[in-house]
A and B are shown apart, each in its own frame.
Chain A
Amino acid sequence: MSALTALARVSAVSSGVAQPIATVRHVHLSSRPLVFVPLALAGEANAPLAALVGSSPDAPQLLFVPQPRNRDQRFEFAAKLAAILLSYVDSFCGETETVPAGRNTEPRERYVDAPQILVPNGGGVGFVRLFGRSTRFRRTEGEYAVDASVPLLGRWLTFFAERSEYPGSSLLVSMTGALSMHWATGQSAVEDANLAALVGWIDPPSGMSGAEAALEAEDPLTWPPAGPATDPTFDNEVLAPAIEAGSLSMLESALRSQLMPTWELMWRGVSLLRGLPPGARVEQRWTADRDAFTGFASYVAEGGYPQAKRDVAVAAAQRLARLERAQALYDAQRAYDDPLLLAEYRLSGEAFAGTVIASSPDRIDDSGKRRVLRPHVTVRSEDPVLLGPGASVVSPARPSQTGSFVSVSGPDVVLELSGGMGRGLTTPPGSVPEVGERLTYTTLTESYQAPAAFPSREETPWTHGGPPVEYVPDDEDAAEDWS
């Protein structure tokens, strides 16, 4: 929570409708996302109860487990879900593009598009993770055999769930997360976890304020919870008698009635998000998602093992380091794409906006061995300048150019520029800010950060348990009870 978002929240209270906290969309939205609304049986460890799934708003497919405690029926549910999800995933494993060779990499193929799963909330992401965990180790022969698609489903769900922890990834997205990244409501973050209330604030029905719509959305009779947890009253008064009666039609209509309102909210959410123009760097992050997808698809095709239950020490440390770098990059990219997010850094003093009042584009620094182009610009800041000499800043308008603080006097900041001006001793037009140009400079950087060095798996130090045993799934994993 930043002060700008807090201010947006109080403005939402007074205006009665959610306020924007982003000017562009920061998530990628597929042209045909797979919307997945799962329900789990209360009290059990992620026992599937029902789900609506599909990639077209008018064709949701309802899957449900008639006797949720029956193990075989759960695996039938998993197999049906696998049929839908795997064929959706497969439909992206067609056209590829060639990624040219890099400094240390061979040229490779990459799928031109990737699947995207949308779930209602954080609980939906948790469902995907746990359902992946409970299916990926299953065996397809011998005792407890399941359909061949079930362990494959588990691997893919696990991939999606793990990727969703990666900052900026859009392969598996929670709708409440995506919406509350772009709008601030007049309620608390706790209440924003209710999809119906959140959408009510952002897009209230005509004649109603967002606050009223959100209040109405809290009634589980009109707006059943978006899952995976069900409404306890529904469980006791509708679901339990229907299961008891063993009536499939009763169950089907009961579960459909619980899921349909959320299904519609999901597509309303999709169109709300589509209404925002995408940020300039969204495509770049989606490319990273397509890379991850391509890599995992070939790993699966080559018969790779299911993902281990726990990371070994080195892999865990590497993953954490990757996530931290991704987070820093993601924060910087969003701020570069979106002046409203950059404004948060202006508020905290990590950025300032101003107008160029003097510029010496052809200034040469000849103090070193080689004469180099080091233009000076003077920016009259409209924000308080908390940075001082020694600080180095970048403007999103010219991301490859760095400015270092030379001096600050009052609101006037003198910067020495380097980079982004070609190799010569004269500056190409437009590469150096001209007098009168309005700019924002920030300490945020999206430049490449070299990954930290980690020991190899075989050299895991004794402090971290020494080299780990190679993980091989065994029969015990496959035989794990599910009751």
Chain B
Amino acid sequence: MTNLECLRGAAAPKSHNARTIAALTTNPGCSRRAVMDAAGIDKERLASHVGFPARFGQSQFAITRGNVFEAQLKANGCAELLRLLREVLALPIGAAAYDDLESVNQLDARADRSRELLTRAADGDEDAGTLFDHPLLRLEVGGRWVYLEPDLIALQFGGKFYVVEIKSFAVIDGKADGTKVSAAATQSAVYVLAMRRLLAEAGYDPGLVSHDVVLVCPENFSNRPVATLVDVRKKLSVLERQLARMGRIDAIVDGLSPSLTFDLQVDDAGVPQRPVAELVDGMGQIDARYSPECLANCELAFFCRHEARGSTAALGKSVREELGGVSSVSHALSLASGAVPPAEDEIEAAEMLRFAAKLRSECLS
């Protein structure tokens, strides 16, 4: 058994998807998350067992809307989607062969079939199709294969592949919510990367996959779709760097106690029995880098927030920076009041803090 399997214990590994891979790039310095994800630990279950459940519910209205929108685009052999792609990518009219790869059942068979079709298309085989619906791609993340399922990959006339991402947030007068667009772009970048690696492994030029992805969203307040090209080059480089880092996860794991495990000791009724204190102690052995942004991205965030109480970083990156990088709340206050002498590298920060404290007390008295 490898170290990572020990850490996970008896539970089945939780697999990554494009969303979780994208989340890795938001806080690359967090070892705790990196180790948990590499080991395939169910963070959601772990967090709720230790008393800090994540709050990532999704409204059924949002789910329904997303499904209806995608179904509408893909109805009649992707008729509506094709019209859009013809506009934005100049797909030739005739070229509209469509492969629904979702219908292939078994995971590996689907991945193989997807690879076969996509490489044939890369060869320029016209019969191989132009639209590949839900192909299954594989990407190696932290030493394990992760299956990924883009909404669609389109092949443009001239041999370029484009990842197509369908999202149900609205683009109103040419503008959309920046956070959502950015999240969609990162997710698409994961697909671009997987597709590039697939081609590279098969001996093709990875540059055949465009760094522009096609984002399809409803326009204004309607159900009418609109397609936009989004450049994901920056996201790609962040992603590649982060995945390369994942490879070095072993270095972190090797430093952990060999007996460390996050096994929840689930009983026959499916209820975790593991004493909470043991898990909390275990998590404490792997460094986390909590920041308030984690609340929107990580299942363990509420646990880490609780643990990070009293640190200036828990108040936001800018707070810590403004305090001259002093990491603890109580130390910052002691420096500000002059109660403790500053260490050599804190002299400047302490001077500033004392001045700030003097100004506040002068103005508030």
Contacts and interface: CB of A to CB of B under 8 A. Distances in A.
Interface of A: 1-11, 13-14, 20, 23, 41-47, 68, 130, 133-134, 186-191, 220, 230-233, 235-236, 239-240, 309-310, 339-340, 343, 346-347, 383-384, 480-483
A187 B308 CA distance: 11
A10 B333 CA distance: 7
Contact of A230 (B59, B170, B364): B59
A188 B220 CA distance: 33
Contacts of B329: 10, 13-14
B312 interface: yes
Given A347-B352, A347-B355, A347-B359, 14 more contacts: A5-B322, A6-B322, A7-B323, A7-B353, A43-B61, A43-B66, A133-B172, A188-B314, A232-B58, A240-B61, A343-B359, A480-B222, A481-B220, A483-B223
Given A7-B336, A480-B222, A481-B221, A41 B61 contact: yes
A347 B170 contact: no
A347 B356 contact: yes
Contacts of B309: 13
B76 interface: no
19 contacts: A3-B322, A3-B353, A4-B356, A6-B318, A6-B323, A10-B312, A10-B329, A13-B309, A14-B333, A46-B170, A187-B292, A189-B318, A191-B292, A232-B59, A235-B60, A310-B174, A340-B363, A347-B355, A481-B222
A343 B363 contact: yes
Given A1-B318, A14-B333, A232-B58, A43 B65 contact: yes
Nearest to A1: B318
Interface string B99-110: 000000000000
Contacts of A232: 57-59, 62
A423 B221 CA distance: 63
A338 to B, nearest CB: 8
B360 A7 contact: yes
A186 B353 CA distance: 17
B292 A190 contact: yes
3 closest A-B pairs by CB: A43-B62, A232-B57, A481-B222
B63 interface: yes
Interface of B: 55, 57-66, 168-170, 172-174, 218, 220-224, 292-293, 295-296, 309-310, 312, 314-316, 318-320, 322-323, 329-330, 332-333, 336, 352-353, 355-357, 359-360, 362-364
A311 to B, nearest CB: 11
B315 A43 contact: no
A20 B364 contact: yes
A163 to B, nearest CB: 19
B316 A189 contact: yes
A309 B174 CA distance: 10
A346 B359 contact: yes
Contacts of B57: 231-233, 236
A10 B332 contact: yes
Contacts of B318: 1, 6, 189
A235 B353 CA distance: 47
B315 A13 contact: yes
Contacts of A41: 61
Tell which of B170, B295, B329, B359 has the most Cβ of chain A within 10 Å. Answer: B359
A227 to B, nearest CB: 13
Contact of B315 (A186, A340, A480, A481): A186
Q: Name B's interface SS.
A: helix
Contacts of A23: 363-364
B157 to A, nearest CB: 31
A309 B173 contact: yes
Contacts of B336: 7
Contacts of A133: 172-173
A221 to B, nearest CB: 11
Nearest to A13: B329
Tell which of B66, B170, B221 has the most Cβ of chain A within 10 Å. Answer: B221
B220 A480 contact: yes
Contact of B316 (A4, A190, A482): A190
Contacts of A481: 220-224
Nearest to A187: B315
Contact of B295 (A1, A190, A346): A190
B59 A7 contact: no
Nearest to B174: A310
A480 B222 CA distance: 7
A6 B315 CA distance: 9
A310 B172 CA distance: 11
B316 A188 contact: yes
Nearest to B319: A6
Tell which of B172, B319, B353 has the most Cβ of chain A within 10 Å. Answer: B319
Contacts of A9: 315, 319
A130 B171 CA distance: 11
B258 to A, nearest CB: 37
A230 B352 CA distance: 43
Given A1-B318, A232-B59, A7 B357 contact: yes
B73 to A, nearest CB: 15
Nearest to A342: B363
Tell which of A9, A68, A239, A482 has the most Cβ of chain B within 10 Å. Answer: A9
Contacts of A68: 61
A46 B314 CA distance: 32
A115 B61 CA distance: 35
Contacts of A1: 316, 318-319, 322
Given A7-B336, A190-B292, A190-B295, A340 B221 contact: no
Contacts of A14: 329-330, 333
B61 A10 contact: no
A42 B323 contact: no
B60 A240 contact: yes
Contacts of B362: 343
B218 A4 contact: no
Contact of A10 (B58, B64, B323): B323
A20 B361 CA distance: 11
Contacts of B222: 480-483
Contacts of A346: 359
Contacts of A3: 322-323, 352-353, 356
A347 B169 CA distance: 44
A186 B312 CA distance: 10
Tell which of A5, A188, A232, A483 has the most Cβ of chain B within 10 Å. Answer: A188
A172 B162 CA distance: 43
B61 A44 contact: yes
B146 to A, nearest CB: 26
B8 to A, nearest CB: 28
A339 to B, nearest CB: 5
Nearest to B56: A232
Contacts of A240: 60-61
A188 B332 CA distance: 16
A11 B333 contact: yes
A367 to B, nearest CB: 39
A123 to B, nearest CB: 11
